[in-house]
Amino acid sequence: MLLTKAEIEARTITEDGQVFLQKAAQDGLETVWDRYQAQKPQCGFCELGLSCRNCSMGPCRIDPFGEGPQRGVCGADADIIVARNLGRMIAAGAASHSDHGRDLVEVLRKVGEGHAPGYTIRSEEKLKKVAAEFGIAADGKTPADLAVELAHAMEEEFGTRKKALTFLGRVPEKRRAIWDKLGITPRGIDRETSEMMHRTHMGVDNDWQSLLLHGLRNALSDGWGGSFIATEVSDILFGIPQPVPSEVNLGVLKENQVNIVLHGHNPIVSEMIYEAAQDPELLALASEKGAEGINLAGLCCTGNELLMRRGIPMAGNHLMTELALSTGLVDMMIVDYQCIMPALGEIATCYHTLMISTSDKAKFPHMAHHEFHPETAQSKARELVRMAVENYERRLPAKVLPAPNTPTRMMAGFSVEAILGALGGSPAPLIEAIKSGAVQGAVGVVGCNNPKIRQDFGHVTLTRHLIENDILVVDTGCAAVAHAKAGLKVPEAAALAGPGLQQVCKSLGIPPVLHMGSCVDNVRILDLAAALANALGTDISDLPLAAAAPEWYSEKAVSIACYAVASGIFTVLGTPPPIFGSPKIVKLLTEDIEGLLGASFAVEPDPEKAAARIEQHIRQKRKALGL
């Protein structure tokens, strides 16, 4: 059934999204927005965090109006149930990021052992730096030897034999002292997740405050552990990102080229596909089939990883993944894991698109499974690119609709190293700009899309307000892609910023919104915040910084938000987390936690109001610093 203009505009602010929502409807597809409508009204108990199915005496639910049951069969009250549910969300998010990190460590080890043809060490500089942090001397060792030693040391981080994770060496002393005092210093990465699952089993930790504290520790094991390892090892294997121009929106899919779309999170597969797509033999085959080249395009965080290092254009963010297929131009979509809707395979059956899953731990209906392993990834990537090229001539002309809008230009690649490089090698110029007030502060605007929010509206509205008020925005994930589509990631966008930020951006030739990568790369923001605090001899919570996730949906985002707050960064969420069934927990997380951590959460669905709250927070922090 066709959608009205009003229905379409309520779903997304993006031009390409609006066109392809109608195309999808014409082709009879059911999209994420349709399925969301069909689910309404969603369960009120679950929205409030008041339902529990942790054991088979249940499922149980607590009546938020106080009329029905106030305890589950085991006796758990609303506070315990909400805290346990939140804890399990954090554990799932931390596990996802950290397992992604572990997969990269495995490749690092196999590269060192000579068992991963096609992969290499692209940044010996970072390999040596990180090895030194782990106490491994580089003298007289080959990069291969060092890679094996570092991989073994990192594997230890996942276990239980440590008092504190190694990357905590980058955390300001004052912050470490806070964590020690609260007993939330993360030990082993897997240990904290495993302990959370244990604590939330029936009859273990039944103190909601103790559960929440462990939630913070679990999230810190992600931020300063699993995700940190994922980002650093990706840089070692695939290179440290540097500023790179690119393009975004569905217009990056080319009518006259073989289009391969890469979706998911881990660059292990997509980097090999990138190499294979340069193969002269496969390019010649594409030409034989009538295509003018092999065009790679990214979706979600795998796309962001390739964009940051290779400048590969982005087709879109989370809510565009189904609509990308409706162009009829995707010859192959290759997925790894996380944020890949199980609906995608079935949608692709309406077109000629070949859908390929690649991870032993992520299989999907209606997708062909081609498992990637470091030993065979190079040949597997060539096989898949060949299949995509051969599929080009099977396009169904009646189903093809190229995007009517031209791709929007953008700039990405702002790793911490690239930002410090642009500043002349040290954070001092940024600190000076903050002291002078040219830059009032910095905010990480991160996270997903969610069909409960008009696509990209939350991100773009919030960010426009912030830069207008001289607040530098750094971003990752789907938020970064939203900003890019809105044209905020080109140096000319400095004209949209306040006078101080505009001046700084113009003198450095950078946009006012800096792309720092994928979701695991939120640790680049932590790393930069810690570097600024260390340079000033203070704590992260003293700095005029904030974070926001206006359209978050995933459990990973819950873990990210928790490690941001635990690291001292005030964090505003656009969609409410399932905690409102416990007024005590809401009060702790939005008010009382400030006294413990120097940072708190806020929930504000209206992005203009969220901007006002963040601006007020930044003013307060500046005042406290005497600025």
> Is residue 46 marked as binding?
no
Q: Which amino acid is at 382?
A: R
Q: Which of residues 238-267 bind ligand MSK (CB under 6 A)?
A: 265
Nearer of residues 46 and 137 to ligand SF4, judged by Cβ:
46
422 binds ligand SF4 (CB under 6 A): no
Q: Which of residues 471-510 bind ligand MSK (CB under 6 A)?
A: 477-478
Q: Which does 76 bind (CB under 5 to 8 A by kind): ligand MSK, ligand SF4, none?
A: ligand SF4
- Provide the 10 A C-beta neighbour count for residue 590: 14
Rounded-to-integer distance, Cα 166 and Cα 163, Å: 9
Residue 79 CB, nearest distance to ligand SF4 (Å)?
12
Alpha carbon distance, N-terminus to C-terminus of the chain: 57
Helix (H, G, I), strand (E, B) or coil at 130: helix
96 binds ligand MSK (CB under 6 A): no
Q: Which stretch binds ligand SF4 (CB under 6 A): 66-74, 191-199, 396-404, 509-517?
A: 66-74
Residues 6+ apart with CB under 8 A from 77: 62, 70, 71
Residue 201 CB, nearest distance to ligand SF4 (Å)?
8
CB of 312 within 8 A of CB of 275?
Answer: no
Among 35, 53, 369, 623, binds ligand SF4 (CB under 6 A): 53
Produce one character per residue of 557-587: b if its CB has 16 or more CB atoms within 10 Å, e if not.
bbbbbbbbbbbbbbbbbbbebbbbbbeebbe
Among 52, 233, 323, 546, binds ligand SF4 (CB under 6 A): 52
- Provide the 10 A C-beta neighbour count for residue 410: 29
Among 27, 58, 145, 468, binds ligand SF4 (CB under 6 A): 58
Residues 6+ apart with CB under 8 A from 245: 311, 409, 410, 411
Rounded-to-integer distance, Cα 574 and Cα 552, Å: 7
Residue 458 CB, nearest distance to ligand MSK (Å)?
12
Residues 6+ apart with CB under 8 A from 492: none
Binding mask 299-328 for ligand MSK (x = CB under 6 A): -xx---------------xx----------
85 binds ligand SF4 (CB under 6 A): no
Total chain residues near ligand SF4 (CB under 6 A): 14
Among 78, 244, 348, 448, binds ligand MSK (CB under 6 A): 448
Nearer of residues 219 and 532 to ligand MSK, judged by Cβ:
219
515 binds ligand MSK (CB under 6 A): no
74 binds ligand SF4 (CB under 6 A): yes
Nearer of residues 81 and 572 to ligand SF4, judged by Cβ:
81
Among 309, 515, 556, 617, binds ligand MSK (CB under 6 A): 556
Residues 6+ apart with CB under 8 A from 135: 153
554 binds ligand MSK (CB under 6 A): yes
Specify the DSSP element, H or E, that contains 595.
Answer: helix 593-597
Rounded-to-integer distance, Cα 244 and Cα 130, Å: 24
Nearer of residues 188 and 517 to ligand MSK, judged by Cβ:
517
- Token pair of 312, please? 């590969």
* Nearest Cα to Cα of residue 522 among 571, 461, 563, 576: 563
Give the dihedral sign, CA 609/40/77/82.
negative
Nearer of residues 196 and 339 to ligand MSK, judged by Cβ:
339
Q: Which amino acid is at 287?
A: S
Q: Which stretch binds ligand SF4 (CB under 6 A): 19-27, 69-77, 319-327, 535-543?
A: 69-77
- Token pair of 181, please? 């005092």
Total chain residues near ligand MSK (CB under 6 A): 13
Residue 196 CB, nearest distance to ligand SF4 (Å)?
15
Among 143, 298, 345, 447, binds ligand MSK (CB under 6 A): 447
For 53, 202, 608, the CA distances from 60, given in Å and listed in that order, are 6, 12, 38
Nearer of residues 299 and 543 to ligand MSK, judged by Cβ:
299
In sequence order, what DSSP letters do the residues of 12-66 get, joined into one string? BS-HHHHHHHHHHHHTT---HHHHHHHHPSPPHHHHTT-EE-SSTT--EE--TTS
Residues in touch with ligand MSK (CB under 6 A): 265, 300-301, 317-318, 339, 447-448, 477-478, 519, 554, 556
Binding region:
43, 52, 55, 60, 74, 265, 301, 339, 448, 478, 519
Binding region for [Ni-4Fe-4S] cluster:
265, 301, 339, 448, 478, 519
Binding region for [4Fe-4S] cluster:
43, 52, 55, 60, 74
